[in-house]
Structure 1
Amino acid sequence: MPLYEYRCDDCGLTFEVRQKFSDEPLNACRHCGGHARKLISQAAFALKGGGWYQQGYSSEKKSSSAAACNSEACTSCPKAANG
């Protein structure tokens, strides 16, 4: 079940309530009974394991051998072979 944050307009108390999606939002503060409003909270997001992140977006980049070599004498470079 999701955890929702509420803040009381009267006393300023911020509190969390675990509720079902189908439950009606709370209207009363737990502390003073004043009017409480549901807050919009930041959701937690974590990438774990393998998948698209490791295969396409990881920080490890492969460098091509042609880009790494700038020597005119290098026989494996297209620049030297066409030269």
Structure 2
Amino acid sequence: MPMYEYQCDACGQVFEARQKFSDAPLSDCKLCGDGPVTKLISQTAFTLKGGGWYQQGYGSAQEKAPAACAAASGDSGGCASCPKAANE
């Protein structure tokens, strides 16, 4: 369900309400209960829930490929932790 922002015309407070698309817009302030409210146009929030691409493709459980060794690419210097540099 989407989140909508409203601003109270009486108290000026801004609040959020989670509503279905089919729900009618709010008409009274839920904070002060006194004044009419205006629906604001605001930046939307994007939430991914459940299984899917995040858990399967971008989760932290997957290992990253090790970096290429400098000695393997033809550099004679290598690196301190490089097994080729230690063997030479």
TM-score (structure 1 length as normaliser): 0.51
Count of aligned pairs between the two proteins: 49
Which structure is higher in helix share? 1
Residue in 1 that maps onto 2:75: none
CA distance in 1, matches of 2:28, 2:12: 12
For the Cα contact (< 8 Å) 1:11–1:32, is it kept in 2? no
Residue in 2 that maps onto 1:38: 39
Residue in 1 that maps onto 2:68: none
Residue in 2 that maps onto 1:27: 27
CA distance in 1, matches of 2:33, 2:11: 7
Residue in 2 that maps onto 1:11: 11
Residue in 2 that maps onto 1:61: none
Consecutive unaligned residues in structure 2, runs of 5 or more? 47-52, 58-88
Percent identity over the alignment is 60
Report the alpha carbon displacement of residue 8 of structure 1 after superposing the two structures with TM: 0.4
Residue in 2 that maps onto 1:67: none
